[in-house]
Amino acid sequence: MSPVTSISQLHALARQGTPRTIAVACPHDDDVLRSLDRAATAGVVRPLLVGRRAVIESLCARLGLDSFRPEIIECADDAAAVEVAVRKVRGGEAQMLMKGLVSTGTFLKGVLNKEFGLRDRPLLSHVAVFEAADPERLVLFTDVAMNIAPDLVQKVQILENAVGLARRLGVEWPKVAAIAAVETVNPDMPATLDAAALAKMADRGQIKGCVVDGPLALDNALSVEAARHKGIVSPVAGVADVLVLPDIEAGNVMYKTLGLVRRWPLAAVVVGASAPVVLTSRADSDETKFNSIALAAAIS
């Protein structure tokens, strides 16, 4: 498979095959419903909504989604709705899960629940995607929404989850940049120590299936020119496919800067679960939500 290099190629990939059922917890939100209507119309998903029927129907009517006829399971309580949606995926009645208007903590606690949740790999993590030019490619960045302050062991798992996703998108040997504020090791900046350790672990075969370099600052990772300017010689600098960010604050600020300030097309998914999980922010546009459904469908 040749690599998926744009969000529109993701859409095309998602349209292949039969529609997957997506269980959505608490879809009481305009952008969530618009994105689901669009994905259902495109033949990407069959929505199974878990929440307050009256609210969902009145929102659909107000939004003019006249041909949107989702299956709805009545559930008034948010945590209970998350549990029902998660159980639908766990039981195989749905192949994907999506968060609606419910707090991220409540939603993720349901996903991680030991009795009915969707744990598969040792660590679940969130991966966001944006389009980059020169070379034209999708850049994955992680973790911007789930793991708060990962230690080195968790960063290895976050990196491996993202590499797995990159490979699913056709990147055979992903180039991974472990991001910090600078490109040199500084003991006063713990992110640079972890980044250097990740790079050395990859050199020694403790991390497989990718090439890792770090620490790299964001400009050195994404711009060949910036890397050249700093004299950095590296197979990753300027052309990274995956960015492993130091913590949730750095990741979340980057995600929101791209999405809200720059309005770049974005997509995001939680990986490491037994099925793809669409976890977008309340502030994300219906476009980002649709892109994320497409990403989840493309890998489901």
Binding interface with ligand COD (CB under 6 A): 104-105, 108-109, 112, 119, 123-124, 145-148, 252, 281
In angstroms, what CA-CA distances link 111 with 17, 67, 116, 152, 194? 26, 31, 8, 23, 28
Nearer to ligand COD, 95 or 142 (CB): 142
Distance in Å, CB of 121 to ligand COD, minimum: 8
Distance in Å, CB of 73 to ligand COD, minimum: 24
Residues 130, 282: Cα–Cα separation, whole Å? 18
Bridge pairing between strands 175-179 and 96-99:
unpaired
Nearer to ligand COD, 148 or 181 (CB): 148
Bridge pairing between strands 266-271 and 125-132:
antiparallel
Say which DSSP state 43 is in. T
Say which DSSP state 155 is in. H
Distance in Å, CB of 108 to ligand COD, minimum: 4
Nearer to ligand COD, 136 or 249 (CB): 249
Distance in Å, CB of 299 to ligand COD, minimum: 18
Nearer to ligand COD, 1 or 283 (CB): 283
Residues 223, 205: Cα–Cα separation, whole Å? 27
Nearer to ligand COD, 82 or 202 (CB): 82
Place of tokens 């006249």: 66
Distance in Å, CB of 281 to ligand COD, minimum: 5
